[in-house]
Amino acid sequence: MQKYSAEDGSTSWPTAQLIVSNGGDDILRNIINSGSGDIIIIHDREQFGHFEVRLTKIAPEGNVATDWDNILISSEGTFSSNYHYEDAVQTDDGVFVTWRDDDGNIYAKHIPFNIADPSSIEILAISNSGALSDDSVSLDYSSRSNEVL
């Protein structure tokens, strides 16, 4: 990934950042601008036959933020299920990400832009009965009520 100037098309960062590989193991899902110049990249990764949801934060000067490089957010390090990205929405202070496992259970994390280590945030179980397994998750955010809808 490289950032370009809107004025003259010149590169803004000294080095382009490799976020996902082109070997078919990574799928870019979302790019969110924090509003302060940071960019959050969310992607699925296939690893050892299982899927995970990961994210990376790039600072305004083009460096990957410490403790935000390819962070696993969809599981606690186990391969008991496949986890597939569903949706993400920017909130006033971060990003709210949802994903689904193979049994139709839906999970989420609200990740503040200023947190030092996003992998330390507890996972929220939105639906653990598989009841929403046939429905697609679609998110919206109300800044007035500070709620994810």
Amino acid 80: pLDDT: 60
Q: DSSP string covering the chain, please?
A: ---B-TTT--B-SSSPPP-S-SSSSEEEEEEEE-SSS-EEEEEEEEETTEEEEEEEEE-TTSPBPTT-SSEE-SSSS--SS-EEEEEEEE-SSEEEEEEEETTS-EEEEEEETT-S-GGGSPPEEEESSSTTTTSPP---EETTTTEE-
Q: What is the pLDDT of residues 35-93, one digit of tens each?
A: 888 889 998 887 777 788 888 898 888 888 888 888 888 875 455 678 888 888 888 88
Mean pLDDT of 103-119: 85
Amino acid 143: pLDDT: 57
Q: Which residues have C-beta within 8 Å of that of residue 63, sequence separation ≥ 6? A: none
